[in-house]
């Protein structure tokens, strides 16, 4: 088994990067057809690790030291000098100048996610997926070859809150100019060819059939329906088997004209560009888009009644999902809730849920919890799998652990440990230009202050046990969960007694 300490720090880092960055607080996984290029940004980092944002000569850079010499000191944080302005067409721009690599990263974030589907589930995703399927004089193959020939990468994705389109390119003027021209055409003037639309629809419909064999996905779909009811977050971004076949090219064009307007956009830029280069780039992109204002904000959802819903599914295990409405992005309690959740179930091994449910009882391979703030109240969710005959006992145990945590709050030792882990993981959130452009997109999209990253870390380090306990009790109820289970109905058995020794063979392993 992997070293629990390494896993705990690794999970904390990943969760911190996710929750601070673009994708983290909108938990909808981007679903794009197999032909759509995927962004390399998720795995690439600068070879030398986090680099300073200033353009200093290499002789002024700190020299590499051994890991042993670092001791318990956290890695240095990358300071970001974020510049911001608005284009003539109304797009918000955030820019960080960084000349360490001869490249730049550009990310467009539109308020054009599935929450804007307006009664046609899948409309936002199909529009985004079709961007690079055709422009005047070029089909999808020619577009892909065009980016490849320039050494550039195009990527796109659609979520509940947002739709994104990204470009990574060399910054040399000849490469940059050609890449931006192609990118502007793809995002601003797509032709939405009918044959490509039908192909992508078929891929989505095949995916819906595959979902029927995935109890975890079925449980997730049902959970959002139960949690959000008639709210725009209730349906999945990819739409449904009933809605997707009816979507027409004209609907895509209409949605693009409204949702991909410059006034509905945040432009994030990071890399080897001057301020003048960045202004020209943002102006070019903004001018290529349809003109129009921002779309209306997502309404606040109504809290649903607590209750349990079961999906019958033939398997040896049951998927368990527990959720409540959480908070919107930018809520003043977010830092306290994030820290509190890291102790409860968000930090991997060593959390209360993992210790009690996995380590002491062997009920699951892993159990995790998390807040997912979005433009409106995102979910707080706990997820796990366990043997079908232990479902009821596992559910009661998890709910009792939450009730106990809300009543007691974290200990001083738990609080300090989590603070150290978060501080140690924080540099990962700005380790590369690709990471930074995601942070800028999130900061701009959710109207967060430019100092948000530093403010967040500063607040985390000053929080007290009582502040964390108060915030958790303010936003969570021990008996307020919407619960969805997916598995077989079998006779239930009592839970095994807890043991203080780690369990080597968990009762459930992830299903593939």
Lowest mean pLDDT among 1-5, 50-54, 67-71, 295-299: 50-54
Residue 335: burial class (beta carbons within 10 Å; 0-12, 13-18, 19+): buried
pLDDT at position 12: 36
Q: Provide the mean pLDDT of the chain.
A: 86
What's the pLDDT tens digit per position in 383-406?
A: 999 999 999 999 999 999 999 999
Q: Measure the CA–CA gap between 151 and 174, rounded to whole angstroms.
A: 12
- Does the CA dihedral 97-102-105-106 come out positive or negative? positive
> Is residue 43 pLDDT above 50, yes or no?
no
**Strand order from edge to edge, sheet including 83-86:** 83-86, 92-97, 265-271, 103-110, 163-170, 153-158
| Mean pLDDT calculated for residue range 51-65 | 34
| Secondary structure of residue 114 in the 3-state scheme | helix
Q: Which of 288, 321, 337 is the last residue of a domain?
A: 288
* Same domain assignment for residues 241 and 339: no
* Same domain assignment for residues 282 and 321: no
Of all residues in the chain, what percent carry a pLDDT higher than 70?
A: 82
| Backbone φ, ψ for residue 27 (5° rounding) | -75, -5
pLDDT at position 65: 40
* Same domain assignment for residues 314 and 276: no
> Is residue 481 pLDDT above 50, yes or no?
yes
* Same domain assignment for residues 248 and 313: no
Residue 10 domain flag: no
Q: Measure the CA–CA gap between 265 and 92, rounded to whole angstroms.
A: 7
> Is residue 447 pLDDT above 60, yes or no?
yes
Residue 59 domain flag: no
* Same domain assignment for residues 231 and 314: no
> Is residue 346 pLDDT above 50, yes or no?
yes
Which helix (DSSP H) or strand (DSSP E) does residue 469 occupy? Answer: helix 465-475
pLDDT at position 77: 62
* Same domain assignment for residues 382 and 236: no
What's the pLDDT tens digit per position in 83-113?
A: 999 999 999 999 999 999 999 999 999 999 9
Residue 387 domain flag: yes
Residue 132 domain flag: yes
Which helix (DSSP H) or strand (DSSP E) does residue 139 occupy? Answer: strand 138-139
Residue 208 domain flag: yes
Range of the domain at 381: 307-431+452-487
Q: Measure the CA–CA gap between 480 and 231, rounded to whole angstroms.
A: 19
CATH number of the domain to which 347 belongs: 3.30.830.10
* Same domain assignment for residues 101 and 174: yes
* Same domain assignment for residues 205 and 314: no
Q: Measure the CA–CA gap between 472 and 342, rounded to whole angstroms.
A: 12
Nearest to 191 by CA among 248, 152, 249: 249
Alpha-helical runs (H) found in 21-121: 67-70
Residue 179 domain flag: yes
| Secondary structure of residue 379 in the 3-state scheme | strand
pLDDT at position 508: 57
> Is residue 483 pLDDT above 50, yes or no?
yes
DSSP string of 179-203, one letter each residue: HHHHHHHHHHS----HHHHHHHHHH
Q: Measure the CA–CA gap between 425 and 68, rounded to whole angstroms.
A: 17
> Is residue 237 pLDDT above 50, yes or no?
yes
How many contiguous H segments (helices) and E segments (strands) does the chain have?
A: 16, 13
pLDDT at position 34: 27
* Same domain assignment for residues 278 and 323: no
The torsion region of residue 170 among left (phi > 0), alpha (psi -120 to 50) and beta comes to beta
Count how many domains the chain has.
2
Cα–chain-centroid distance for residue 136?
Answer: 33
Tokens of 92: 């918000």
Q: pTM here? A: 0.84
pLDDT at position 69: 46
What's the pLDDT tens digit per position in 423-445?
A: 998 888 888 999 999 999 999 99
- CA torsion 404-407-412-418 (nearest 10°) is 60
pLDDT at position 233: 98
What's the pLDDT tens digit per position in 308-326?
A: 999 999 999 999 999 999 9
Residue 255 domain flag: yes
pLDDT at position 258: 98
> Is residue 509 pLDDT above 60, yes or no?
no
* Same domain assignment for residues 420 and 464: yes
Residue 182 domain flag: yes
Q: Which of 259, 288, 317 is the last residue of a domain?
A: 288
* Same domain assignment for residues 283 and 313: no
What's the pLDDT tens digit per position in 322-336?
A: 999 999 999 999 999
* Same domain assignment for residues 269 and 328: no
């Amino acid at each position: 088994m992997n070293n629990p300490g390494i896993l705990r720090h690794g999970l904390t880092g990943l969760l911190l990067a996710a929750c601070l960055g673009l994708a983290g607080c909108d938990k909808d996984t981007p679903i794009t057809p197999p032909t759509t290029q995927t962004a390399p940004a998720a795995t690439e980092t600068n070879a030398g690790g986090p680099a300073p944002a200033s353009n200093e000569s290499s002789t002024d850079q700190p020299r590499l030291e051994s890991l042993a010499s670092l001791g318990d000191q956290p890695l240095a944080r990358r300071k970001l000098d974020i510049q911001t302005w608005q284009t003539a067409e109304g797009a918000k721009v955030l820019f960080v100048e960084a000349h360490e690599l001869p490249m730049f990263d550009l990310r467009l974030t539109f308020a054009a996610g599935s929450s804007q589907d307006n009664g046609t589930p899948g409309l936002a995703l199909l529009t985004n997926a079709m961007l690079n399927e055709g422009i005047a004089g070029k089909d999808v193959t020619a577009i892909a070859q065009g980016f490849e020939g320039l050494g550039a990468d195009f990527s796109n994705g659609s979520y509940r809150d947002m739709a994104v389109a990204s470009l990574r390119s060399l910054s040399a003027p000849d490469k940059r100019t050609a890449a931006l021209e192609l990118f502007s055409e793809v995002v601003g003037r797509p032709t939405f060819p009918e044959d490509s639309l039908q192909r992508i629809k078929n891929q989505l419909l095949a995916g819906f059939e595959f979902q029927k064999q995935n109890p975890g996905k079925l449980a997730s779909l049902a959970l959002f329906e139960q949690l959000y009811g008639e709210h725009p977050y209730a349906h999945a971004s990819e739409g449904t088997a009933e809605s997707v076949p009816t979507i027409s090219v004209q609907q895509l064009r209409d949605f693009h004209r409204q949702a991909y307007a410059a006034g509905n956009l945040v432009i994030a830029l990071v890399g080897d560009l001057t301020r003048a280069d960045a202004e020209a780039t943002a102006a070019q992109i903004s001018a290529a888009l349809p003109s129009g204002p921002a779309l209306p904000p997502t309404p606040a959802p109504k809290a649903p009644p607590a209750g349990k819903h079961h999906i019958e599914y033939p398997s040896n295990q049951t998927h368990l999902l527990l959720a409540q409405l959480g908070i919107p992005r930018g809520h003043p309690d977010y830092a306290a809730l994030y820290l509190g959740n890291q102790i409860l179930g968000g930090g991997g091994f060593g959390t209360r849920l993992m210790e009690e449910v996995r380590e002491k009882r062997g009920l699951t391979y892993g159990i995790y919890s998390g807040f997912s703030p979005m433009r409106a109240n995102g979910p707080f969710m706990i997820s796990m799998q366990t043997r079908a005959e232990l479902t009821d006992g596992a559910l009661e145990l998890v709910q009792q652990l939450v009730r106990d945590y809300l009543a007691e709050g974290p200990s001083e030792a738990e609080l300090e440990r989590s603070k150290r882990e978060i501080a140690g993981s924080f540099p990962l959130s700005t380790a590369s230009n690709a990471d930074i452009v995601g942070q800028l997109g999130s900061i701009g999209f959710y109207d967060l202050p430019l100092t948000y990253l530093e403010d967040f870390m500063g607040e985390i380090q000053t929080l007290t046990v009582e502040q964390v306990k108060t915030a958790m009790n303010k936003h969570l109820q021990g008996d307020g969960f919407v619960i969805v289970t997916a598995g077989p109905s079998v006779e239930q058995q009592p839970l095994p007694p807890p043991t203080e020794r780690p369990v080597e063979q968990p009762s459930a392993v992830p299903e593939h």
